[in-house]
Every structure is written in C-alpha cells, then in structure tokens.
C-alpha cells in the first residue's frame, strides 16, 4: 500500500450535506442518479452524479445525509456537470453503500 503525507490528505475537503433532490441521470452509460445536495450556507447547493441505483432509489435518497469531497474538479457525465464526489463503499456484490454520519451534524461540517 502506498502511503501519503498528512498534508496531502488534508487537502481533500470532505463535507456532510443533505440530499434535497434526486432523479435518474438520463443518458448515462451506467445507471446513475443525479443529486442536489445542500452543504450549508458556506458551500451552498451542489450537484453530483453517482452510480447508486442497486441499493438506492431517488425517493430513498431525498433527505438523506451523505458525505462528499467538495473540492474535486467538476466532471461532465452524460452532459451533466457533477460538482462534488459522493463517497461510498462497494458491498460484497459491488453495489455502492453511501458514507454518512451516524449522529446529527450541521450541513457543511468538514471531516476532521
């Protein structure tokens, strides 16, 4: 395993947010859901696309708290600009399980 210096890790800005809206991403090569996420007053609302369709439906994601990298460069996916990188782990079948806080924290709080 390659190691990195702490300073490199500290450059990754991971924040908590609440999904305001979720809908299928039309035109994506692999099924995906586009998410509008509220990261609080400092960062505001951002959009992301994520391949979450095995476990999650758009309806189940609305109101869900999630974690995302907010300082990643935007990426175009099927004509849609994904502004943040939603974080998840693959389960045994390869489906994405979202990373989320298990206790209440305010939108926009940084991972420490």
pLDDT of res. 44: 98
Mean pLDDT of 59-68: 98
Cα–Cα nearest to 67, from 9, 11, 112 = 112
pLDDT, averaged across the chain: 97
Say which DSSP state 102 is in: S
* Tokens standing for residue 85: 């990188």
| % the chain with pLDDT above 90 | 99
Burial of 62 (0-12, 13-18, 19+ CB in 10 A): middle
pLDDT of res. 111: 96
pLDDT of res. 12: 97
Return the domain boundaries, the chain: 13-98
Annotation: CATH topology of 13-98:
OB fold (Dihydrolipoamide Acetyltransferase, E2P) (2.40.50)
**Strands (DSSP E) found in the chain:** 14-24, 33-38, 45-50, 65-69, 75-77, 80-82, 85-86, 88-90, 96-98
pLDDT of res. 50: 96
Mean pLDDT of 43-66: 97
């Amino acid at each position: 395993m390659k190691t990195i210096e702490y300073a490199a890790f500290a450059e990754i800005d991971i924040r908590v947010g609440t999904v305001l809206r979720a809908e299928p991403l039309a035109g994506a090569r692999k099924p995906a859901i586009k998410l509008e996420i509220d990261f609080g007053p400092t960062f505001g609302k951002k959009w992301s696309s994520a391949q979450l369709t095995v476990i999650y439906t758009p309806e189940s994601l609305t109101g869900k708290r999630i974690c995302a990298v907010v300082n990643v460069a935007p990426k175009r996916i099927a004509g849609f600009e994904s502004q943040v990188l939603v974080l998840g782990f693959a389960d045994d079948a390869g489906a994405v399980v979202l990373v989320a806080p298990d206790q209440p924290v305010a939108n926009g709080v940084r991972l420490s």
